[in-house]
Chain A
Amino acid sequence: MHIVDGALSVPVLVTGAVLTIAGVAMGLKKMDYDHLPQVGVLSAAFFIASYIHLPIGFSSVHLILNGLIGLALGWAAFPALLVALFLQAVFFGFGGFVVLGVNTLNIALPAVMMYYLCRHGVSSSSANVAAIWGAIGGAGAIVMTTLMVALSLMLSGEAFALAAKATFIAHIPVMIIEGFVTAAAVLLIRQVKPEFLGIDEERAYG
């Protein structure tokens, strides 16, 4: 889902960078020093989780899990994802450097959107309802991310239109898988550590 350096046009790059700076500023403001270890450790956990490759037919896809990141971190997803993408770019040469703003925005904005959309759903007292909202969050984040990647490509030149469409189609299986995985993760977290999703134990099980 990363875009490499050199493909995007200057207006897209600048817009991405500006919006990412705004998002990161917002995230940093909401995150006090006491939450730093928590966000840092979760950011590392997502970094690792995003390297889980699941087989699909003859190929394999890797998880992105930005829906779950959003549910867990809210606005702090912006700085957490910026750090993760920066580390990947610098130490693995994965993704670009100048496109860091666009890449962060494409992954973190859907995460924050899913936070607002599904936050109430996943803390529902019914496990089935929570699982469905978890699935919506997981799949929805990938849908949004793919659309935003496609949009960044299309805005950079008409010649990318086909590649943009292909990106979307290629990611449909990822959307489905992320939906299932996120729903299962939400179910487990509800059982094991409900306060993680902002659930009052008494409300959920009282």
Chain B
Amino acid sequence: MPQFLEHSGTSWQGQNVKHTPSLIDRLDPRLRVVLVSVFAVVTVLSQSFMSLSMAAAMGLLLALLAQLNIKRTLRRVLAMDMFMIFLIILLPFTTPGETWFEVAGLSASKAGFLHALMILLKAHAVVLALLAMVGTLSATTLGHALARLRVPDKLVHLMLFTVRYLEVIGQEYKRMRRAMQARAFVLRTNRHTWRAIGYLVGMLLVHSLERSERIMAAMKCRGYQGKFYLFDDMTFTRQDVTFSLLFVPCLGLLIGMNFL
């Protein structure tokens, strides 16, 4: 995969990624999570091209509404495409059916091509909606919204911890890599590289573990009893009602189109 397509987790910017405030930001986070989940399930289960085209259009519309950073979004969508491109290209040739066209003696079937197109539409519709509705939330808000939606406490806490320490550990990793580079370490395809990287990973884990012990001690000292308190109260406002009144009929239409 070319370097520019990789969204490297080591440069995870956590909450620092800026996005322009938009209409979507004014909606209740809980509503955004619920609507996007329903939308994703409906889209993945849809079988007709009409409803899938509409789903893709809705995904695009949500992305526009959320004023997603075009470059960043394009990079992510392209990265996803690179991931599935192999599957998509193979599909017309491996699906039995009447020959549609031939490439180098291999016959491609129309059924396979349509199937591939369907997967493409579904994946893009879902990813755009997801990035627009949930990807624009801060991870903390998302955690709180999930907690309010009755996702188990421990799981939400775990997510909040992971998000909090992604950046810290990312820095730690970069620091160690810089130290290796300073000692003229270059990644190659040999056992020396793999051993060095293994040691790096091991050391990263040991450092992380020791850090977690210090975190635990500091939290205990401040009276941690296995519970986080959720201060923000999320309210369902008129804007949410309006948005739902627009969105839910669209979902109904998506479902309905499958039965035409």
Contact = CB atoms under 8 A, between A and B. Distances in A.
Interface of A: 2, 4-7, 10, 13, 24, 28, 31-34, 36-45, 47-57, 60, 63, 65, 68, 72, 79-80, 82-84, 86-94, 96-98, 153, 157-163, 166, 177, 180-189, 192-193, 196
Given A4-B119, A6-B119, A163-B87, A42 B198 contact: no
A91 to B, nearest CB: 5
B238 interface: no
Contacts of A32: 226
Main SS of chain B's interface residues? helix
20 contacts: A5-B43, A5-B127, A7-B84, A31-B154, A33-B225, A37-B216, A40-B161, A41-B209, A41-B215, A45-B169, A48-B12, A48-B204, A52-B10, A55-B187, A55-B188, A93-B131, A163-B91, A184-B202, A188-B198, A188-B202
B8 A51 contact: yes
Contact of A184 (B77, B162, B198): B198
B90 A162 contact: yes
A54 B158 contact: no
B197 A52 contact: yes
B152 interface: yes
Interface in B163-192: 163-166, 168-170, 173, 187-189, 191
A166 B87 CA distance: 10
B125 to A, nearest CB: 8
A189 B202 contact: yes
B159 A83 contact: yes
B86 to A, nearest CB: 7
Contacts of A10: 45
Nearest to B193: A54
B250 interface: no
A53 B122 CA distance: 29
B204 A7 contact: no
A68 B201 contact: yes
A159 B205 contact: no
A22 B57 CA distance: 35
Given A4-B83, A45-B208, A83-B155, A185 B202 contact: yes
Contacts of A39: 158, 161
Interface stretch (B21-29, B134-142, B240-248, B251-259): B134-142
A157 B109 CA distance: 15
Given A185-B198, A185-B199, A188-B198, A193 B206 contact: yes
A161 B94 CA distance: 8
B188 to A, nearest CB: 6
Interface string B35-59: 0110011011100000000000000
A6 B44 contact: yes
A167 to B, nearest CB: 8
A196 B166 contact: no
A37 B163 CA distance: 11
